[in-house]
Structure 1
């Protein structure tokens, strides 16, 4: 009998990038999305086989249908219904476009979608649309309101970089107003179009983590970080007793990503393939591929992440380590913490933004 939450045997989150097609051309897009669908995308039948394999991980496997924009696939509702019938918990991350009408939102809910995630990278029309390079704020807010009306739980995803960090308090207010159940705060990894954006400095990131813990305590919605697992280290060091229990997911350890053409990556932000679902079961790849096994072994980490006493509950962003050093087991350059007694090499400074830490952790302000 196996532990149902044993990340050596199953991912807590399995993302399938059903397409890279999207009407938007956001400046930070990991997928470098484009308007047209790739003719080599997994077909409907191949997708259904993937969903059957996902169900083999165990009852209630969480499957996220992402993109691009999943709505670009005509078979999206069919895939949601099929996955739901298999017992998978199906969620979807559509783009905020005019195609995401209230009727489409209701159809997704009726098909069995358990949660919908929308991206909000600014609190106003001007800031959100400027960051995304497209007019999507109004469509995103309308879709969020439609989700509330349909009784569909809503998650808001926000990218943290030099351009957006000062907007976080105002975005928090929007998350509250929209009735979201979870705010997923993603710290930029320089892949895809995101290579041209400036990340925050490690010190600024630490201050944002402190602030986010305060938000989590004060708000009705939950807060989680993406590609910033040292959020847990910050919580533990500040005596937040539940910090070590939250998430615990990093690339390849509780998380797997299947690309639109079937490549299995530890994360969409760590594009090193461990196999292809057209040739090998996603269950086999996740459990047995050397890359995934190495990423689940904290003893394989190098640099200050390898020496860190928090490596079992944090482990650093493997995606960011790969983007910066070409080695998914290297240190995460965004984390400023240096373990006591460590005198080895340190990663780079993590970005060109000057240290803008607020110092008191109350608001991620722009003051030095």
Structure 2
């Protein structure tokens, strides 16, 4: 990612254009529904949001997510409008019958810079079971190939939880075969329907991060983790162990620091997985909310983190998942319970799951 001052602008601005979706995915943050919400932002309100987003600066990345963005009839129009304003527009459609070759071509013609699809299993049975819809795997893979044919860069998103972790090597192979440019590996945060799923334990997460580091060095596609900034710590430690390298660098985002999320009704959150509103785009510019709200400013102060995250020497390059800390404790500045790392000399409280593992 091009370095930016994250106190001034996010790397990524997500706009959840709708909660409507035909799928009933087990992990859905949005708790998506079959029909569109009557109070979601209108086309004109959405264009005003995109106008404001352009004030962040040239080439601001905007992701249209959902639900399923293609459940809105104006998504292609919004992509075209945002592109005209100088925004880098990307879309994360659901793997349904609406994701046709024609729909992909229309998005490409509108100027979409990337298409992101979700693949959570290496086979139709595994993926469709997780997504709650027979045929979703086939539709998703077909759309991924259509994106490649249309010259649109492809990102593959994968959720990591107890029910998907064993399939990750098979998904890795599929990411390679589809010619994706980026694999985004999302570590479950217990919000929405995801509260009913089993997260992997911290020690398993650490081993998985080490495996992802190996994959990143072997494959031609990039890897990023979502809600797992500890991956940056693991990569630095692995580089140090291999060749004495691994100097810490900024190079990432966390909720409210390089990342912002606008809900379908215009609420501005640090992340879709940290549902604490700092304002509404119907009342103020998303730029002002991001730069000046108390919540966003607090989340950018890494030296104010609490618990072992606050004592950690990697707090500026990692910082822990603020969304997972909030989900676990109600405190967005608390420790990330997924990370097993304990800073040298730290003897304070540990997150509940890590403390239980230590006691065992």
TM-score interval (norm. to shorter): over 0.9
Q: Distance in 2 between matches of 1:34 and 1:126?
A: 23
Q: Is the CA contact 2:229–2:319 (under 8 Å) kept in the aligned structure 1?
A: yes
**Quick check: 1:266 aligned with 2:270?**
yes
- Aligned residues of 1:303 and 1:331 also touching (Cα < 8 A): yes
- Verify the 8 A CA contact 1:21 1:37 in the aligned structure 2: yes
Q: Secondary structure of the residue that 1:46 maps to in structure 2? A: helix
Q: Identify unmatched segments of 5+ residues in structure 1.
A: 356-368
**C-alpha contact 1:15 1:66 (8 A) present in aligned 2:** yes
* Alignment correspondent of 2:18: 19
Alignment of 1:168-187 (within 5 A): 168-187=168-187
Q: Does 1:229 align with 2:241?
A: no
Distance in 1 of aligned mates of 2:158 and 2:142: 17
CA distance in 2, matches of 1:350, 1:141: 38
Q: Could you say if the C-alpha distance between residues 266 and 96 of structure 1 is closer, same or farther in structure 2, counting changes exceeding 3 Å?
A: same
Distance 1:101 1:351, change over 3 A: farther
State the partner residue of 2:122. Answer: 123
Q: Write the distance in 2 (CA, Å) between the matches of 1:116 and 1:17.
A: 15
Cα separation, 2, equivalents of 1:350 and 1:151:
45
Q: Is the alpha carbon distance of 1:200 and 1:17 closer, same or farther for their aligned partners in structure 2, counting shifts above 3 Å?
A: same
Alpha-carbon contact 1:199-1:350 (below 8 Å) kept: no
- What is the Cα deviation at residue 242 of structure 1? 6.6
The 1:317–1:216 alpha-carbon spacing in structure 2 relative to 1, beyond 3 Å, is same
Structure 2 unpaired stretches of 5+:
none
User: How many corresponding residue pairs?
Assistant: 352
Q: How does 1:171-250 map to 2 (within 5 A)?
A: 171-239=171-239, 241=245, 244-245=248-249, 247-250=251-254
The 8 Å contact of residues 156 and 180 in structure 2, kept in 1 or not, is answered as yes
The whole-number CA distance in structure 2 between the counterparts of 1:243 and 1:110 is 42
**CA distance in 2: counterparts of 1:69 and 1:39, whole angstroms:** 16
1:264-304 Cα shifts (integer Å, max 9, x gaps): 00000000000000111100000000000000000110000
Q: C-alpha deviations, 1:347-366, integer Å up to 9, x for none?
A: 021799x99xxxxxxxxxxx
Contact 2:340 2:354 survives alignment (8 Å): no
1:305 offset after TM fit, Å?
Answer: 0.2
- Given candidates 311, 327, 330, the residue that maps to 1:307 is 311
- How far apart, in 2, do the equivalents of 1:242 and 1:66 lie? 34
CA contact (8 A) 2:188 2:194 kept: yes
Please, what TM-score do these two structures have when normalized by structure 1?
Answer: 0.93
The answer to whether the 8 A contact 2:238-2:246 is kept is no
- Seen in structure 2, the aligned counterparts of structure 1 residues 243 and 42 have a Cα distance that, compared at 3 Å, is farther
C-alpha contact (below 8 Å) 2:18/2:36 kept by paired residues: yes
Between the aligned partners of 2:87 and 2:60, the Cα distance in structure 1 is 5
C-alpha distance 334-276 of structure 1, shift in aligned 2 (>3 A): same
Give distance in 2, aligned partners of 1:350 and 1:200.
12
SS at match of 2:63: strand
Q: Confirm or deny that 1:8 pairs with 2:12.
A: no
User: 1:287 and 2:286 equivalent?
Assistant: no
- Residue 120 of structure 1 deviates from its aligned partner by 0.3
Q: Distance in 2 between matches of 1:273 and 1:12?
A: 19
Equivalent residues of 2:250, 2:316 under 8 A apart? no
In structure 1, distance between residues paired with 2:93 and 2:32: 13
Asked whether the equivalents of residues 60 and 87 of structure 2 are also in contact (C-alpha less than 8 Å), the reply is: yes
Contact 1:144 1:154 in 2 (8 A): yes
